[in-house]
Chains A and B, each alone.
Chain A
Amino acid sequence: MSIPTLTDPAASITNDASVVEQNDRNIAASINNLENTTNVVQFKGLRVYGGTGFLSRTPPLEGNYPNYITGRTVNYFIFWNQHPDSSDAAYLDMSAYAIRGNDFVGEQPDTVTVTLQKSASVAGVFSSVGSLTLDSADAGGLSLVKTVDLSGTAYSTSTPFHRVKVEASSVADDGSFGWGNSPVFVVVNVRMKSASA
């Protein structure tokens, strides 16, 4: 709503008393068009982008194509374009955890790094918004849920494309076997805030 014009009626009967009435009418007119950013204190809703997937060695392929059998150390889980009218969007946080396919005897990477990235175009250069690292040395190992606060990062509509990159510490791709034999499942959630439309 527009901000109503309120006039001081002053403290004297010599002043126009109808000013008081007009003030109320101005208020009544204004509150018939409430707006997000002007009149509502908490006007942003949460949006959650969730992704799941697993990191593992690319399965063997039929035929002889050894060049294409490499250790899978990088994967992308989520991709999105910003909402329309998202000039007032805001980052909130990102959380993640991972678990071994065989949680007791399976191999696992030392670390799994999860990074939220942004870019000005779909095929453009993505830069980091924030990241977290799951560490097998932690109590709870990779399955310890970690959250990184992104609320201090300003949102820019000039970089509307986002993706989540998940990168595990290295695995041999020369035929020897590391954690690539035991897939590691990863869950990522990114939370953002944006206004109604």
Chain B
Amino acid sequence: MGNPILRRIRNNTFGNGPVVRANDGALLAELQGNAAKKINIAQYNSYHDITAKVSFFASDALDISDDAQASTPAESGIVWLHRVPRKKNLVRSSMYNLLNQLLVPQGLDANVRLMKSDKFPGDPSFDVEEMGEEIDKFTIDTTSASGDTTVAVGNGSTSTENTLCRAGDYLFLYSTFSIPEDKTKVDDFTLLIRYGTLSLHLVFKEEHA
């Protein structure tokens, strides 16, 4: 709203009723329908959320049947993608394992990364740094236990962000299931369940439209 034009009323003068009323009318006229975001309203942003249920690691390529195959490159891929329709800030991200049991072999390096890029990540490579900006990472720890690792419900990752996303940017989940170079024996890998289910939750902040 604009500044209402208020007429001066001096002290020690007779209180002029019409002037007082005109001043109040000027206030009311500016108030009605003229309150503007940024100028008159302190909180002019809204939050909105994106929730996704994502499957990952769904590949048969890791059915390792002999030692030679054990040294082949691992699988990776884009398992979820969102193109940002207008400028907004990503302020929270959450990833959460939804399965009761997610069994992955010891020794495998398993990650799901939340990433941002201004280019379409249609040709994923294993060089994550070339794919864009890493925002958050959900890591399945497969190094601490002997044998298969059970990742129980409750395993997840949350982060607090202030990542500016411009119109046209891509936000995506990039899953990698890679084999360390020192693991070359079939016995290193006993693949039981080859997939996981992840709940992804993103919170964005943007101006009122």
Which chain A residues have a beta carbon within 8 Å of chain B's beta carbons?
A: 1, 9, 13, 16-21, 24-25, 27-28, 31-36, 43, 45, 47, 49-53, 61-63, 65, 68, 72, 74-84, 122-124, 161, 163, 194-197
| Chain B 1-49 interface residues, beta-carbon cutoff 8 Å to A | 1, 3-4, 6-16, 20, 23-24, 27, 30-31, 35, 39-49
Give the distance in Å from the alpha carbon of A163 to the alpha carbon of B97 in the complex.
Answer: 11
Extra pairs beyond A18-B10, A34-B40 (15, CB < 8 Å): A18-B8, A24-B23, A24-B24, A28-B4, A31-B31, A62-B63, A68-B101, A76-B96, A76-B98, A76-B153, A81-B201, A83-B91, A84-B92, A123-B156, A195-B43
Q: Which residues of A contact B10 (CB under 8 A)?
A: 17-18
Picked from B27, B45, B201, the residue with its CB within 8 Å of the CB of A79 is: B201
- Knowing A36-B43, A123-B155, the reply to whether A25 touches B6 (Cβ < 8 A) is yes
Is the pair B46, A197 in contact by a Cβ cutoff of 8 Å? Answer: yes
Query: Does the CB pair A47–B158 fall under 8 Å?
Result: no
Cβ-neighbour of A31 out of B1, B8, B16, B156 (below 8 A): B1
Q: With A28-B3, A80-B49 given, is the CB distance from A68 to B193 under 8 Å?
A: yes
Contact A81 B158 (CB under 8 A): yes
B62, chain A: closest CB distance, angstroms: 12
Residues of A close to B11: CB separation below 8 A: 16-19
Does B163 count as interface, using CB distance less than 8 angstroms? no
Across the interface, A20 reaches (CB within 8 A) one of B12, B20, B27, B46, namely B20
CA gap between A21 and B8 in the complex, in Å: 7
Residues of B with C-beta under 8 A to A161 = 94, 158
Are B27 and A27 in contact, with the CB atoms below 8 A?
yes
Complex CA distance for A196 and B4, rounded to whole angstroms: 27
Residues of B within 8 A of A19 (CB): 11
For A31, list chain B residues within 8 Å (CB). 1, 27, 31, 35, 40
**B205 sits at the interface (CB 8 A):** yes
Question: Which of the residues A21, A47, A65, A163 comes within 8 Å of B47, measured between beta carbons?
Answer: A47
User: Does B53 interact with chain A (Cβ within 8 Å)?
Assistant: yes
Q: Which residues of B contact A (CB under 8 A)?
A: 1, 3-4, 6-16, 20, 23-24, 27, 30-31, 35, 39-49, 51, 53, 63, 91-92, 94, 96, 98, 100-101, 103, 153-158, 160, 192-193, 199, 201, 203, 205, 208
On whether A34 and B41 interact (CB within 8 A), knowing A18-B10, A75-B98, A123-B156, the answer reads yes
Chain B hits for A16, CB < 8 A? 11-12
A36 to B41, CA, bound (A): 8
Please judge, given known A-B contacts A21-B7, A28-B3, A84-B92, whether A196 and B98 are in contact too, CB under 8 Å: no
Cα(A77)–Cα(B7), bound, Å: 62
With A and B bound together, what is the CA distance between A84 and B94 in angstroms? 13
Is the Cβ of A197 less than 8 Å from the Cβ of B98? no
* In contact, A52 and B53 (Cβ under 8 angstroms): yes
| Chain A: minimal CB distance from B122 (Å) | 27
A126 to B49, CA, bound (A): 22
User: B103 contacts which of A28, A45, A68, A74 (Cβ < 8 Å)?
Assistant: A68
Instruction: Report whether B9 and A194 are in contact in the complex, using a CB–CB cutoff of 8 Å.
Output: no
Contact B27 A196 (CB under 8 A): no
Q: How far is the CB of A157 from chain B (nearest CB, A)?
A: 13
